[in-house]
């Protein structure tokens, strides 16, 4: 794992400043290349081939490479290249990437199995290429204003070279979902290279091309055969993630996905280290499940309980860890468990993200489907009439002795108006509704039809929800969280569930093998039965939530007073009204206040 930066023109001093801002991504080595056309920089976290021979920027013939990530099948590609006459000076996967591009050009990307974001400069063309992995495990931002081009692994590095103007649409996305979806970043003129894409820059213009995408094409398959085939793919994909010349550990929550990763690796490789985070607040603490799994499989296990004082410390640093407004509060325990792994001497950690999006793990899928199924039985005219009636009677109904009545009525009124599964699902996962965003920010986000939901009867509606999350929530929330939290401690996070062959196989599975007889992740649980007793598999899912509501009811509530000053963009009177309701005991979605707090903390840190 590493950090990469670049800027058009001969500007090594600027590149050095950009690298300094992301030094945590690569404390082992640093290098800069510069010529009249481009300046490239690299900071290295040595994982494969720890010797100086893996130094970057790496040059071969007319090509220069800066690479972040891992190519897990690099040894097979290396053998293929050696058969064609290529020789190698190092044992690094980076050299394989460079020479694979020399041999096959952009088509080399189809051979790579791994996580990556890298740049290759062709001095003869002259042209710069940027590539990002299929799922979006590794980040890559870029800026092009028609004259100057720049890129970096993290947004903070580009703050050295771009105007810091807030993109109100991106801010609205953050306030609605807790993360900034898809291409935009919080700054105008800075974009994220999307997963499965590469970019070509010929020093006058840029061109984007897609080389991979998620394809939902359900195929008929017998259950036992699917279990066996997926099991083999998991063993193969997980084994690739053990390729390392540094110590490896596993984040173990005790849920299905992390238990499967830990159990499979312990059985096939042995002597793994596992790490679990718990909470003093018992309603949130599932560390006992992680410990039970660790005891059963025999891993060397560490449990860390997150105390309120530690949470306060991390929260103060939240906007340093996440250099773009980021609202997933589980980033706090993820940061802490990464620190625990680092202190234990581990340099590579395996997480288990992706299982929910691929195998129907989130409760919100069946909640949305069950509610939507009932609503869609009601004729449109009656639904709209009901929504209008709730609008009229709402001020009176909220006084009924029913908990959170005002919130429930507003939600029901909103979903009654929705025409499609996509609109209903986006309503279900939104924190600020469109009308509230207009009051807060003066922005109403346009509805953008999603191609997976547009497949209609070809797929189950919950498949559409899963695909939406795979393309949005997974790369822009979950993977951002793990990348920044691990990199803050200079350790590498790997995602074995997101091997692209596992992803492609999951996309072909019939829905009834993902959700069956009321069981989410049905096929994963059947595989896990070969490793763990049923009582550790078939239990209620808790998720990786933290007691943020309780914390803000207590000592952490003072942060609102500290940061909720007037704002040039946000209507803070509206926010302070929400805060007053929260403090008076009325129901308020705590994320509404948390997201604004995160933005205000980020604003004070970076603007």
Whether the pLDDT of residue 32 is over 70: the answer is yes
- Topology agreement, domain 2-210 and domain 223-350+467-537: no
What is the pTM for the complete model shown? 0.95
Q: In this structure, are residues 340 and 304 in contact, taking their beta carbons and an 8 Å threshold?
A: yes
Give the pLDDT score at 270: 79
In whole angstroms, how far apart are CA 273 and each of 489, 492, 493? Answer: 17, 15, 14
Specify the CATH number of the domain 2-210: 3.60.20.10
When mean pLDDT is compared across 259-273, 378-392, 424-438, the lowest value belongs to: 378-392
Question: Directed axis angle between helix 331-343 and helix 479-487, to 10°?
Answer: 40
State how far the Cα of 447 lies from the Cα of 450, in Å rounded to an integer: 9
Give the pLDDT score at 131: 99
Q: Please give the structure tokens belonging to residue 90.
A: 């190092």
Give the pLDDT score at 416: 81
What does the DSSP 8-state code read for residue 166?
A: B
Q: In this structure, are residues 476 and 194 in contact, taking their beta carbons and an 8 Å threshold?
A: no
Q: In this structure, are residues 213 and 504 in contact, taking their beta carbons and an 8 Å threshold?
A: no
Phi/psi of residue 190, nearest 5 degrees: -115, 130
Segment 168-190 mean pLDDT: 98
Q: Whole-number mean pLDDT of the chain?
A: 93
| CB burial readout 152-191, b (16+ within 10 A) else e | bbbbbbbbbbbeeebbebbbbbbbbbbbbbeebbbbbbbb
Residue 515: helix, strand or coil by DSSP? strand
Q: How far is CA 28 from the centre of its chain?
A: 25
Segment 590-604 mean pLDDT: 97
H-type alpha helices, 442-529: 461-471, 473, 479-487, 500-508, 522-528
Q: In this structure, are residues 291 and 299 in contact, taking their beta carbons and an 8 Å threshold?
A: no
Give the pLDDT score at 573: 98
State how far the Cα of 90 lies from the Cα of 48, in Å rounded to an integer: 10
Structure-token match 């840029």, residue found: 206
Give the pLDDT score at 160: 84
pLDDT tens readout for residues 220-256? 999 999 999 999 999 999 999 987 777 889 999 999 9
- What end-to-end distance do the CA atoms of the chain give, in Å? 29
Residue 333: helix, strand or coil by DSSP? helix
Segment 472-494 mean pLDDT: 96
pLDDT tens readout for residues 514-569? 999 999 999 999 999 999 999 999 987 665 568 888 899 988 999 999 999 999 99
Segment 208-219 mean pLDDT: 96
Segment 174-186 mean pLDDT: 98
When mean pLDDT is compared across 202-206, 320-324, 381-385, 432-436, the lowest value belongs to: 381-385
State how far the Cα of 361 lies from the Cα of 515, in Å rounded to an integer: 9
Strands 273-279 vs 248-251: parallel, antiparallel or unpaired: parallel
Which element (helix H / strand E) includes 301?
Answer: strand 300-306
Residue 284: helix, strand or coil by DSSP? coil
Give the pLDDT score at 544: 59
Whether the pLDDT of residue 396 is over 70: the answer is no
pLDDT band for position 399 (50/70/90)? low
Q: In this structure, are residues 135 and 195 in contact, taking their beta carbons and an 8 Å threshold?
A: yes
**Cis before 378? omega within 30:** no
State how far the Cα of 421 lies from the Cα of 461, in Å rounded to an integer: 7
When mean pLDDT is compared across 195-204, 251-260, 375-384, 480-489, the lowest value belongs to: 375-384
Strands 348-350 vs 248-251: parallel, antiparallel or unpaired: parallel
Q: How far is CA 287 from the centre of its chain?
A: 23
State how far the Cα of 604 lies from the Cα of 303, in Å rounded to an integer: 34
Whether the pLDDT of residue 285 is over 90: the answer is no
Among residues 2, 97, 193, 360, which one is catalytic?
2
Q: Where are the beta strands (DSSP E) in 161-226?
A: 190-192, 197-201, 206-210
Segment 401-413 mean pLDDT: 66
State how far the Cα of 220 lies from the Cα of 195, in Å rounded to an integer: 28
Q: How far is CA 277 from the centre of its chain?
A: 19
Q: Please give the structure tokens belonging to residue 356.
A: 């929910």
When mean pLDDT is compared across 29-33, 130-134, 223-227, 547-551, the lowest value belongs to: 547-551
Q: In this structure, are residues 591 and 431 in contact, taking their beta carbons and an 8 Å threshold?
A: yes
| Percentage of the residues of the chain whose pLDDT score is greater than 70 | 95
Residue boundaries of the structural domains of the chain: 2-210, 223-350+467-537, 553-607
For this structure, is 2 an active site residue? yes
Measured at the alpha carbon of residue 210, what is the angle toward residues 204 and 216, in degrees to the nearest 5? Answer: 165
Which element (helix H / strand E) includes 176?
Answer: helix 168-177
Among 114, 135, 131, residue whose Cα is nearest residue 354: 135
Q: Which fold has domain 223-350+467-537?
A: Rossmann fold (3.40.50)
Segment 54-72 mean pLDDT: 95
Whether the pLDDT of residue 280 is over 90: the answer is no
pLDDT tens readout for residues 322-345? 999 999 999 999 999 999 999 999
Residue 224 CB burial class (10 angstroms; 0-12, 13-18, ≥19): exposed
Give the pLDDT score at 45: 80
Q: How many CB atoms lie within 10 A of CB 65?
A: 25
Among 66, 69, 94, 97, residue whose Cα is nearest residue 81: 97
Bridge-partner residues for 60, per DSSP?
A: 63
State how far the Cα of 289 lies from the Cα of 257, in Å rounded to an integer: 13
């Amino acid at each position: 794992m590493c950090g990469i930066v670049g800027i058009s023109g001969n500007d090594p001093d600027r590149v050095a400043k950009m690298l300094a801002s992301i030094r945590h991504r690569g404390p082992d080595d640093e290098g800069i290349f510069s010529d009249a056309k481009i300046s490239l920089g690299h900071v290295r976290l040595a994982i494969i081939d720890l010797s100086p021979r893996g130094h970057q920027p790496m040059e071969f013939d007319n090509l220069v490479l800066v690479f972040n990530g891992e190519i897990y099948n690099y040894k097979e590609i290396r053998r293929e290249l050696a058969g064609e006459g290529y020789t190698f000076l190092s044992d690094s996967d980076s050299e394989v990437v460079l020479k694979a591009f020399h041999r096959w050009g952009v088509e080399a990307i189809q051979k790579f199995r791994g996580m990556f974001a890298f740049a290759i400069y062709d001095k003869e063309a002259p042209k710069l290429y940027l590539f990002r992995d299929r799922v979006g495990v590794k980040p890559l931002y870029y800026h092009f204003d028609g004259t100057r081009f720049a890129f970096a692994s993290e947004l903070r590095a580009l703050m050295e070279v771009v105007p810091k103007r807030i993109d109100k649409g991106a801010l609205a996305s953050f306030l609605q979902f807790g993360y900034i979806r898809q291409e935009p970043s919080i700054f105008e003129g800075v974009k994220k290279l999307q997963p499965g894409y590469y970019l070509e820059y010929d020093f006058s213009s840029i061109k984007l091309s897609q080389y991979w995408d998620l394809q939902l094409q359900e195929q008929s398959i017998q259950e036992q055969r699917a279990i066996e085939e997926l099991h083999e793919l998991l063993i193969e994909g997980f084994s690739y993630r053990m390729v390392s010349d540094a110590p490896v550990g596993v984040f173990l929550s005790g849920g299905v996905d992390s238990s499967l990763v830990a159990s499979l690796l312990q059985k096939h490789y042995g002597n793994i280290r596992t790490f679990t985070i718990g909470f003093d607040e018992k309603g949130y603490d599932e560390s006992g499940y992680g410990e039970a799994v660790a005891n059963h499989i025999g891993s060397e296990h560490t449990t860390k309980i997150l105390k309120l004082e530690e949470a306060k410390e991390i929260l103060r640093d939240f906007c340093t860890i996440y250099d773009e407004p980021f609202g997933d509060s589980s980033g706090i325990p993820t940061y802490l468990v990464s620190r625990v792994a680092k202190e234990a001497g581990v340099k590579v950690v395996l997480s288990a993200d992706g299982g929910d999006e691929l195998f129907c793990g989130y409760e919100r899928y069946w909640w949305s489907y069950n509610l939507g199924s009932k609503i869609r039985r009601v004729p449109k005219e009656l639904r709209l009439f009901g929504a209008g009636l709730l609008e009229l009677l709402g001020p009176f109904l909220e006084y009924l002795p029913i908990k959170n009545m005002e919130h429930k009525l507003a939600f029901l009124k909103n979903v009654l108006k929705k025409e499609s599964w996509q609109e209903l699902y986006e309503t279900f996962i939104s924190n600020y509704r469109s009308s509230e965003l207009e009051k807060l920010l003066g922005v109403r986000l346009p509805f953008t039809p999603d191609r997976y939901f547009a497949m209609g009867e070809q797929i189950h509606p919950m498949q559409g929800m899963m695909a939406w999350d795979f393309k949005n929530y997974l790369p822009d929330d979950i993977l951002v969280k793990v990348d920044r939290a691990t990199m803050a401690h200079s350790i590498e996070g790997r995602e074995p569930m997101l091997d692209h062959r596992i992803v492609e196989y999951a996309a072909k599975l019939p829905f009834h093998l993902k959700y069956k007889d009321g069981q989410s992740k049905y096929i994963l649980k059947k595989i896990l039965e070969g490793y763990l007793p049923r009582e550790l598999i078939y239990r209620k899912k808790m998720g990786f939530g933290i007691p943020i509501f309780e914390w803000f009811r207590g000592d952490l509530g003072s942060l609102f007073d500290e940061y909720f000053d007037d704002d040039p963009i946000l209507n803070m009177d509206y926010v302070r009204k929400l805060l007053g309701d929260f403090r008076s005991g009325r129901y308020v979605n705590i994320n509404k206040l948390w997201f604004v707090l995160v933005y205000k903390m980020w604003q004070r840190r970076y603007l």
